[in-house]
Chains A and B, each alone.
Chain A
Amino acid sequence: MSDSIEILRFATAGSVDDGKSTLIGRLLYDSKGIFLDQLETLENDSKSKNLKEIDLAHLTDGLKDEREQGITIDVAYRYFSTPKRKFIIADTPGHEEYTRNMFTGASNSSLAIILIDSRKGVLTQSKRHLYISYLLGIKNIIVAINKMDLVDYSREVFTNIREDFLKLSDDLSVNSINFIPISALKGDMIVDRGVNLPWYKGETLIHILENTKIYPEEDFSRSCFPVQLVSRVDNEEVKDFRGYMGMVTSGKFKIGDNIKILPGKKESKIENIIVSGEYSQEIDKSQSGTLLLKDELEISRGDVIASLDYELKINQTILSQICWMGEEGLKLKTKYIMKHSNKNSKIIINKVLNKINIESLKELESDEPFQMNDIGQVEIKIQNNIVYDTYESNKQLGSFIIIDIESNNTVAAGIIK
């Protein structure tokens, strides 16, 4: 493996029977990401069901119920590598009622594959998938138009679906959408080009996955480090040690940097840095580490260490986009827990401001409390000040979850606009 190998995390979304599991099975199978003994199990399964070809879909259906009912119940994670990249797939089920799974799978992805059945064209679900990808800041979208073998590999069908989809995405700022005609079942345009789509001059799916740019242009100013834990050690080997553990969510820090600690108004200087269990001169974005400061200050979990030039917002009431995931609908004026930037706070949701109509993707004014899968804007009041930024400029400081106090379930995901 080369030293510069990167990880691409991507989500796959499609409606029921779009062939999503088959596509993932195909990616694993053609890129040799599946083992012989797993294949033998598949062959036996397929034989016992009197199928002619092996059912690649069963490769990803990890639960007995899923295999028996032929549906995917929950997000599954799959791994494969090519010499260029390591891939982590979040395979998200397509059922309408499981939209929250798409949100879950896409939250850690930098690319989304939206599957469309060439016979059915763009569906409400495709819109939903596009919108969720957009909301979660996924800039790279691949629209894989599947089951081309069932429409005689027709160029016209492909072009029409592409036109429909582009109309849909007009209003959303998505950087790039790649359209690929594929047959997951037959293997066309996934890892190999196949011979059935001579009119398609674009790249194969795996080529795009291997070459898409993952990391945005790095902005090294505006550095930020939410504190996870405070470490104090004082024993015979380590004398009077006080460090702040966390992960750099934007920018970078080096010894000697002047910093501020929010939500208070304290300032200090970085005296030392630990990365990967060793003292270091600096720490980069996405690295876990420990910061040691020049002054002894009262800092706790949830506080944010930031560079002086970073204007973070501090407030007790925020407006936010949320996706409701709870079985029970949202209750206004009821206490919930919000986990944001490593910290749990009690909150109440004051009011609903609008709700997204998933057909038109437009915001409709509405004050009706959300039911499962509803997406829209709410006003939240928090028990204490929180330090935040918009999701777009700082994913970690702009996102949170809401937990129901009674059931302890995660009932909503929030994105601060």
Chain B
Amino acid sequence: MKKNIYLKELESEAIFILREVVAEFKNPVMLYSVGKDSSVMLHLARKAFFPSKIPFPLLHVDTGYKFREMYEFRDSFTKEIGANLIVYRNEEAIQKGFHPSKNGIAKCCGALKTQALLDALSKYNFNAAIGGARRDEEKSRAKERIFSFRDSFGQWNPKSQKPELWNIFNGEIDEEESVRIFPLSSWTETDIWNYIKHEGIKITPLYFARNRNMIIQDNSLVPSDDINNQGSTKVKSRFRSLGCMPCTGAIRSDATDIDMIIEETIKAKRSERETRIIDHGSNSMEDKKREGYF
């Protein structure tokens, strides 16, 4: 199959951005969350620097609540490609038993994800963090620059962003400040799947439909974390977007291969982040982003 013109354009743009990061920053890192967007980003990085190895480490901010399949995939895949993987956890909060049902979603996310990320960036002195966020995911992300400035507290100020023209990215920062970089800004969920298909990119099996033990709550499917699966039902389902187990819902689906996923994505009536409980209520993405979340 000849590569789609538009996939070529998106790929080329992302590779250009990744190379700019390496040229402009002393100590960049790529955020790797094991999901489909991270998998695409990692694939692009391998292409961008071929035949060299990826010239920056990968950072997984682990909350301890990820799916077993995600940990397995993370460890086997990064080993296979010889990537330098750093796993960082907010051990203090994990020791204290932070959980959304106990601390509330905002506090739990704040400690296990945002704080852990900021701590990791400062521990390793990373001044540029590449993330897989896309502008089509959520309305405050639609406002993001490709090179997005963060002050010395890791905060985003959407009201005073630098103008970003053509493909000329301003990478000038002072000590203690940093930049978040989003090479997949212009990609949509459908683009991601088309590219995964075109390139044969490996992804975790959680994205494919299978009979899974689910607790049915109102209209959502919550994965069962009980060893004996008490109160759960087998439902043919898959995950459209992956996060922490307590806060990630599944969708009913028969999509067992990529073609079926693409068809389902094109026809989808609801957005992919709907199953991410963390985005709802008072805990908006904008607020989290301002504090330093991706």
Closest to B169 in A: A339
Judged by a CB distance under 8 angstroms, whether A140 is at the interface is no
Task: For the complex, give the distance between the alpha carbons of A229 and B166 in Å.
Answer: 19
A236 adjacent to chain B (CB < 8 Å): no
Cβ of A228 and Cβ of B19 under 8 Å apart? yes
B95 at the interface (CB under 8 A from A): no
**Chain B residues closer than 8 Å to A241, beta-carbon distance:** 51-52
Evaluate contact between B50 and A277: CB separation under 8 angstroms. Answer: yes
A408: contacting residue among B51, B163, B165, B173, CB under 8 A: B173
Q: For window 164-201 of chain A, which residues contact chain B by CB distance below 8 Å?
A: none
Contact of B51 with A7 in the complex, beta carbons under 8 Å = no
Interface residues of B (CB under 8 A from A): 1-6, 8-13, 15-16, 19-20, 22-23, 46-52, 135-136, 138-143, 158-159, 161-170, 172-174, 185-186, 188, 190-191, 194, 268-271, 274, 284, 286
- Can you add 9 more A-B contacts, CB < 8 Å, to A238-B52, A274-B51? A1-B194, A3-B4, A36-B270, A37-B274, A78-B135, A247-B16, A286-B9, A288-B16, A288-B48
Q: Does chain B have a CB within 8 A of A287?
A: yes
Given contacts A1-B194, A38-B271, A64-B286, contact A245 B165 (CB under 8 A): no
**Interchain residue pairs with CB less than 8 A apart (5):** A36-B270, A101-B163, A104-B163, A108-B166, A287-B12
Closest 6 CB pairs of A and B: A277-B47, A62-B139, A288-B15, A35-B271, A408-B172, A107-B165
Is there a chain B Cβ closer than 8 Å to A417's Cβ? no
Q: Contacts A5-B4, A408-B172, A410-B165: A229 and B19 contacting too (C-beta < 8 A)?
A: yes
Tell me the complex Cα distance, A226–B60, Å. 34
| Residue among B8, B143, B168 making CB contact with A287, cutoff 8 Å | B8
For the complex formed, measure the closest distance between the CB of A278 and the CB atoms of chain B, giving whole angstroms.
Answer: 8
Cross-interface CB contact of A410 among B140, B162, B167, B271, cutoff 8 Å: B162
Contacts A63-B286, A231-B52; A325 near B163 (Cβ below 8 A) = yes
A403 to B194, CA, bound (A): 38
- Contact check, B159 vs A73: say whether CB atoms are below 8 A apart: yes
Q: Which of A63, A88, A409 contacts B143 (CB 8 A)?
A: A63
Our pick among A62, A77, A107 for the contact of B186 (Cβ within 8 Å) is: A77
Asked if B173 contacts A5 (CB within 8 A), the reply is no
Q: How far is the CB of B12 from chain A (nearest CB, A)?
A: 4
How far apart sit A403 and B3, CA to CA, in the bound complex (Å)? 38
Residue in B1, B46, B165 whose beta carbon sits within 8 Å of that of A103 in the complex = B165
Q: Are A403 and B143 in contact (CB-based, < 8 A)?
A: no
A74 & B158 in contact (Cβ 8 Å cutoff):
yes
Complex: A37 Cα to B270 Cα, angstroms = 6
Q: A36-B270, A77-B135, A288-B48 are in contact. Are A62 and B165 (CB under 8 A)?
A: no
Contacts of A395 in B (CB 8 A): 166
B166 touching A399, Cβ below 8 Å:
yes
Q: How far is the CB of B174 from chain A (nearest CB, A)?
A: 7
A276 touches B47 (CB 8 A): yes
CB within 8 Å of B: which of A234-253? 237-238, 241, 245-247
Say if the beta carbon of A301 comes within 8 Å of chain B: yes
CA distance A414 to B287 in the complex (A): 35
Q: Are B165 and A79 in contact (CB under 8 A)?
A: no
* A-B residue pair count with CB separations less than 8 angstroms: 167
Cβ–Cβ contact A401 & B165, under 8 A: yes
Q: Is A367 an interface residue, CB under 8 A from the partner? A: no
Find chain A residues with CB under 8 A from B185 CB.
Answer: 77
- Minimum CB–CB distance from B48 to chain A (whole Å) comes to 7
- How many whole Å from B236's CB to the nearest CB in chain A? 22
A6 within 8 A of B: yes
Report the Cα distance A104→B169, complex, angstroms.
12
| Complex interface residues of chain A between 27 and 74 (CB less than 8 A to chain B) | 35-38, 59-65, 73-74
How many angstroms between the C-alpha atoms of A217 and B46 in the bound complex?
33
- Chain A, Cβ-Cβ closest to B268: A35
- Which residues of the other chain, A, contact B4 by a CB distance below 8 angstroms? 1, 3-5
- A140 shortest CB reach to chain B, Å: 18
Residue ID in chain B nearest A339 by CB atoms: B168
Contact A401 B170 (CB under 8 A): yes
Nearest Cβ distance between residue B262 and chain A, in whole angstroms?
A: 9
Query: Knowing A76-B143, A88-B186, A103-B165 touch, does A410 contact B170 (C-beta < 8 A)?
Result: yes
> Shortest beta-carbon distance, B256 to chain A, in Å?
21
> CB-CB < 8 A to A61: which residues of B?
139
Whether A100 contacts B268 in the complex (CB less than 8 A), given A74-B158, A77-B186, comes out as: no
- In whole angstroms, how far apart are the Cα atoms of A107 and B50 in the complex? 30
Is A396 part of the contact surface with B, judged by Cβ < 8 Å? yes
* Interface residue A86 (Cβ < 8 Å from any Cβ of B): yes
Contact of B269 among A36, A104, A288, A399 (CB under 8 A): A36
A403/B6 contact (C-beta < 8 A), A37-B271, A229-B22, A277-B46 known: no
Q: Which residues of A contact B274 (CB under 8 A)?
A: 35, 37
Residues of A contacting B188 in the complex (Cβ-Cβ under 8 angstroms): 79, 81, 86
Report how far A60 CA is from B138 CA in the complex, Å: 10
Task: Please report the C-alpha to C-alpha distance between residue A108 and residue B186 in the assembled complex, in whole angstroms.
Answer: 12
Cross-chain contact A77 with B142 (CB below 8 angstroms) = yes
Closest Cβ neighbor of A399 among chain B residues: B166
Q: In the complex, what distance in Å separates the CA atom of A38 from the CA atom of B139?
A: 9
B266 smallest CB distance to A (angstroms): 8
Encode contact with B along A317-330: 1 for CB under 8 Å, 0 otherwise.
00000000100000
State whether A233 touches B23 (Cβ < 8 A): no
| Closest CB in chain B relative to A10 CB, distance in Å | 13
User: Chain B contacts of A114 at CB under 8 A?
Assistant: none
Known: A7-B9, A35-B269, A400-B168. A228 touches B23 (CB 8 A): yes
For A231, give its contact among B16, B49, B161 (CB under 8 Å): B49
Interface residue ranges of A1-22 to B (CB < 8 Å): 1, 3-7
